[in-house]
């Protein structure tokens, strides 16, 4: 993550992972979730924070979910319904369940199918936010598969040359296991930056960079500026301008729309704004069906090592690969606690008091 | 395609599609291919030219293939060998066959599997260039499936922050059918621009734009300049710089490396430079396994129409979606001929003379 998104040192409160996990699960239980669902939801969020992906951890998401449960938008006791099924595929109605909770269940279905026929694909309609898509891909990677998860929904991002938004930030993730190297884990929005990163930047007082957002008439903003605030900008696809490749970010967003929304038998969020317009796609490719698993891991190790030992460009410290700094961050955060913005900790203190849940611990100095 | 890549009007020679197809197939036959393989190869190239994707049609590719056949790198009579197979997957040894010829065969295998278990994935190692990956995805779309094809190989593109290239231009394609609207067809390199586009720009005398290439020490070139010629630059991943999202282009290139190379049981081209280091991934998602096919097409139509009727940004003419301008181009080119650069036509005239094949026709004025 770029430095500009990190919580400034003076605003950091470090909290221990087990306490954050406990408090988060307790909140989900108070929302009406079963204990196992609550634990699953806490796991998705806290593991994401452990990896340093603040944008999709407890800070930005949890209060939104609480509101959605309180407003009755999310169903805390969803009964997943299979709309269609074949040996390699299933289409699921998520019954307004939160994606971060039902997502792991759907990826596990895909994994079971991949064990039988080599590849498994599960699509989900009628579900809430799925969190960091990479979390779900990693579940497959840990089961010796290549995992892929994408999610679509919302209407914030402009198509190339457009003056009105048509697309969600539609992220793509893929994960694959290695042997000694940290696993490969790619997880990124197809917009220039994730929507949540804009809120993070607003919280930490960092400006937007050229090519990230557009004026309301569709003109890409090509100078650095502070976010004009929600409702006063549109997001640009990855690439920013046509010359820099925004048609690729736009096309990849549509790829996600086809895989997640269309294959879930759902209708694109761009055609209206249903309250719960998130569709997900989970795929597991069973490595053993394609090739020798041990040789695969050796080849992954060789590739990932070659990448991280690439000579750096002038002025750069090192080359990393997707998943490497996240693995390093996880080691640090398990030991030294998860750095939250003091405002987020304040929110925890008020919600735990309100719901009569034990207060969030602070790391001992 | 950006205007800068188009053949300048004064250099255009228009040729009729049937004649280009015939001459191209005749060249493949002279290389030793069977008549049906020769026709398949000609189809991949000429359909790509019909869609206006000059970078991957006859202009850049055919003479390279001729050289590879003449040098014995490509096998004109490949016997595909199945290395591993499950109901939903297969890993194929391409026996040094040209990808543009064996690709359609592999996508058809994936389609047959998807008919049975809902999804089919075929990976291929030990094969030559696969051409425009979108061509193969479209074969699935025409069979009422969502088609996906990616290919990896080569070592031209820098990882973010790197000073030495590690990746091919690793393109991603996906296609999905609609009812009245032209099919959705996304096909683009994960580098800032396709390698072949640089050669096209050199041929037509157009400069590189900021964020497309880097100096030899890894520094992104952020001003407009003429290509310094092969061997004097590296390619940048989509995004160009880290701030503009090059880590996403880089990560997507690695996604391709994992799907195509790793799942084909092959070793990344970044670990050496085998002469024929191209691996392919073909996936077919059977729409009928996920949802109602007719409803899917209606929803695709609604989405694609919404996109192309999006109000344009200030100063822009219209919003298009991937596949729309290609479909328009195809209509025009079927009627008015395929515009080739005069140099390309000269090459055809010399090779057809050399191989005693009938000369390429010109469109009648």
Task: Tell me the C-alpha distance between B258 and B266, whole Å.
Answer: 10
Q: Note whether A88 contacts B91, CB cutoff 8 Å.
A: no
Q: Note whether B268 contacts A146, CB cutoff 8 Å.
A: no
Q: Note whether A161 contacts B86, CB cutoff 8 Å.
A: no
Q: With a CB-CB cutoff of 8 Å, which residues 97-136 of chain A face chain B?
A: 114, 116-121, 123
List pLDDT tens digits, range B244-264.
899 999 999 999 999 999 999
Nearest to B89 among A162, A255, A290 (CB): A290
Site from B123, B251, B301 to mutate, A interface, most A CB atoms within 10 angstroms: B251
Q: Which of A32-36, A193-197, B346-350 has the lowest mean pLDDT?
A: A193-197
Confidence check: pLDDT of B273 > 70: no
Chain B partners within 8 Å of A146 (Cβ): 258-259, 262-263
Confidence check: pLDDT of A222 > 80: yes
Q: With a CB-CB cutoff of 8 Å, which residues 315-334 of chain A face chain B?
A: 315-322
Chain B partners within 8 Å of A92 (Cβ): none
Chain A partners within 8 Å of B109 (Cβ): none
Q: Note whether B163 contacts A270, CB cutoff 8 Å.
A: no
Closest-CA residue in chain B for A259?
A: B146
List pLDDT tens digits, range B8-25.
889 999 999 999 999 999
> Over the range B151-175, which residues count as b (16 or more CB within 10 Å of their CB) and which as e?
bbbbbbbbbbbbbbbbbbbbbbbbb
Whether chain B has a CB inside 8 Å of the CB on A259: the answer is: yes
CA distance A344 to chain B (A): 27
Closest-CA residue in chain A for B322?
A: A251
Q: Note whether A84 contacts B163, CB cutoff 8 Å.
A: no
Q: Which of B154, B257, B122 is nearest to A176 (CA)?
A: B257
The average pLDDT across A261-278 equals 84
How far CA B232 is from CA of B4, B229, B275, in Å, comes to: 21, 6, 21
Structure confidence at residue A273 (pLDDT): 61
Nearest to B161 among A164, A299, A319 (CB): A319
Q: Is residue A323 part of a domain?
A: yes
Q: Is residue A200 part of a domain?
A: yes
Structure confidence at residue B205 (pLDDT): 85
Residues 6+ apart with CB under 8 A from A282: A103, A106, A107, A109, A110, A121, A122, A123, A124, A136, A147, A148, A149
Residues 6+ apart with CB under 8 A from B279: B123, B124, B125, B127, B151, B152, B153, B260, B261, B264, B266
Chain B partners within 8 Å of A290 (Cβ): 84, 89, 91, 123, 263-265
Confidence check: pLDDT of B278 > 70: yes
CA distance B256 to chain A (A): 10
Confidence check: pLDDT of A204 > 70: yes
Q: Where in the sequence is the domain holding B315, given as residue range(s)?
A: 3-354
Q: Which of A260, A275, A276, A131 is nearest to A194 (CA)?
A: A131
CA distance A155 to chain B (A): 12
Helix A35-50 to helix A99-117 angle (10° resolution) is 90
Structure confidence at residue B255 (pLDDT): 98
Q: What is the mean pLDDT of chain A?
A: 94
Q: Pick the residue with more confidence: B114 or A271? A: B114
Task: Tell me the C-alpha distance between A289 and B166, whole Å.
Answer: 27
Report residue B167 as tokens: 């990746």
**Residue A252 near residue A96, CB atoms below 8 Å:** no
Closest-CA residue in chain A for B185?
A: A251
Q: Note whether A263 contacts B210, CB cutoff 8 Å.
A: no
Q: Note whether A285 contacts B311, CB cutoff 8 Å.
A: no
Task: Tell me the C-alpha distance between A253 and A239, whole Å.
Answer: 12
List pLDDT tens digits, range B214-249.
999 999 999 999 999 988 999 999 999 998 899 999
Closest-CA residue in chain A for B194?
A: A245
List pLDDT tens digits, range A38-69.
999 999 999 999 999 887 889 888 999 999 99
Q: Is residue B345 part of a domain?
A: yes
**Number of structural domains in chain B:** 1
Task: Tell me the C-alpha distance between A213 and A204, whole Å.
Answer: 18
List pLDDT tens digits, range B178-193.
999 999 999 999 999 8
Q: With a CB-CB cutoff of 8 Å, which residues 6-35 of chain A face chain B?
A: none
Judged by DSSP in three states, B306 sits in helix
Q: Is residue B276 part of a domain?
A: yes
List pLDDT tens digits, range A329-346.
999 999 999 999 999 999
Q: Note whether A176 contacts B258, CB cutoff 8 Å.
A: yes
The average pLDDT across A263-290 equals 89
List pLDDT tens digits, range B315-364.
999 999 999 999 999 999 999 999 999 999 999 999 999 999 999 999 98
Whether chain B has a CB inside 8 Å of the CB on A307: the answer is: yes
List pLDDT tens digits, range A107-158.
999 999 999 999 999 999 999 999 999 999 999 999 999 999 999 988 999 9
Determine which helix (DSSP H) or strand (DSSP E) holds A199, and give its type and residue range.
helix A195-204
**Residue B319 near residue B193, CB atoms below 8 Å:** no
CA distance B98 to chain A (A): 21
CATH of the domain at A240: 3.30.1370.60
For chain B, give the number of residues.
365
List pLDDT tens digits, range B287-320.
999 999 999 999 999 999 999 999 999 999 999 9
Whether chain B has a CB inside 8 Å of the CB on A293: the answer is: no
Q: Which of A59, A53, A61, A121 is nearest to A87 (CA)?
A: A121
B231 CB neighbour count, 10 Å cutoff: 6
Chain A partners within 8 Å of B282 (Cβ): none
Q: Is residue A359 part of a domain?
A: no
Judged by DSSP in three states, A154 sits in coil
Strand partners, B302: none
Whether chain B has a CB inside 8 Å of the CB on A291: the answer is: yes
Q: Note whether B289 contacts A184, CB cutoff 8 Å.
A: no
Confidence check: pLDDT of A35 > 70: yes
Nearest to A118 among B88, B158, B245 (CB): B88
Chain A partners within 8 Å of B252 (Cβ): 172, 186, 252
Q: Note whether A299 contacts B119, CB cutoff 8 Å.
A: no
Task: Tell me the C-alpha distance between B172 and B149, whole Å.
Answer: 6
**Residue A235 near residue A158, CB atoms below 8 Å:** yes
Residue that the structure tokens 């081209």 belong to = B269
What residue ranges in chain A does DSSP mark as E strands?
12-15, 81-85, 89-97, 119-127, 145-152, 172-176, 184-188, 213-214, 234-235, 278-286, 338-341
Structure confidence at residue B138 (pLDDT): 98
Q: Is residue A363 part of a domain?
A: no
List pLDDT tens digits, range A15-33.
999 999 999 999 999 999 9
Task: Tell me the C-alpha distance between B171 and B102, whole Å.
Answer: 18
Q: Is residue A362 part of a domain?
A: no
CA distance A9 to chain B (A): 22
Q: What is the pTM of this model?
A: 0.96
DSSP-assigned letter for residue A291: S
The average pLDDT across B61-77 equals 95
ipTM reported for the complex, 2 dp:
0.96
DSSP-assigned letter for residue B284: E
Q: Note whether B88 contacts A83, CB cutoff 8 Å.
A: no
Helix A35-50 to helix A324-336 angle (10° resolution) is 110
- pLDDT-derived band at A270 (thresholds 50, 70, 90) equals confident
Task: Tell me the C-alpha distance between B173 and B164, whole Å.
Answer: 26
Confidence check: pLDDT of A93 > 70: yes
Q: Is residue A231 part of a domain?
A: yes
Structure confidence at residue B114 (pLDDT): 98
The average pLDDT across A289-300 equals 98
Structure confidence at residue B233 (pLDDT): 95
């Amino acid at each position: 993550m770029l430095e500009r998104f990190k919580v400034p040192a003076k605003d950091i409160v470090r909290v221990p992972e087990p306490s954050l996990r406990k408090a988060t699960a307790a909140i989900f239980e108070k929302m009406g979730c079963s204990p196992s669902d609550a634990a699953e939801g806490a796991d998705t969020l806290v593991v994401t924070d452990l990896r340093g992906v603040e944008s999709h951890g407890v800070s930005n998401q949890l209060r939104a979910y609480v509101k959605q449960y309180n407003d009755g938008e999310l169903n805390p006791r969803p009964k997943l319904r299979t709309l269609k099924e074949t040996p390699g595929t299933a289409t699921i109605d998520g019954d307004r369940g939160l994606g971060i909770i039902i997502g792991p269940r759907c990826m596990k279905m895909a994994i079971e199918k991949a064990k039988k026929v080599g590849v498994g694909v599960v699509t989900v309609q009628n579900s809430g936010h799925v969190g960091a898509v990479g979390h779900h891909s990693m579940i497959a990677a840990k089961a010796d598969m290549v995992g892929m998860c994408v999610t679509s929904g919302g209407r914030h991002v402009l198509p190339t040359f457009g003056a009105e938004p048509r697309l969600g930030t539609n992220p793509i993730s893929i994960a694959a296991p290695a042997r000694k190297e940290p696993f490969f884990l790619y997880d990124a929005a197809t917009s220039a930056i994730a929507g949540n990163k804009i809120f993070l930047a607003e919280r930490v007082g960092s400006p937007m960079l050229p090519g990230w957002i557009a004026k309301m008439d569709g003109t890409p903003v090509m100078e650095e500026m502070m976010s004009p605030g929600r409702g006063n900008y549109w997001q640009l696809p990855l690439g920013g301008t046509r010359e820099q490749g925004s048609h690729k970010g736009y096309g990849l967003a549509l790829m996600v729309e086809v895989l997640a929304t269309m294959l879930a038998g759902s209708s694109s969020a761009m055609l209206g704004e249903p309250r719960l317009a998130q569709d997900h796609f989970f795929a597991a490719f069973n490595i053993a069906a394609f090739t020798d698993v041990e040789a695969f891991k050796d080849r992954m190790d060789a590739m990932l090592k070659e990448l991280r030992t690439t000579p750096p460009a002038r002025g750069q410290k090192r080359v990393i690969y997707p998943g490497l700094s996240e693995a390093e961050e996880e080691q640090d955060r398990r030991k030294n606690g998860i750095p939250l913005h003091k405002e987020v900790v304040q929110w925890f203190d008020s919600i735990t008091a309100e719901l009569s849940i034990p207060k969030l611990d602070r790391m001992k100095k």
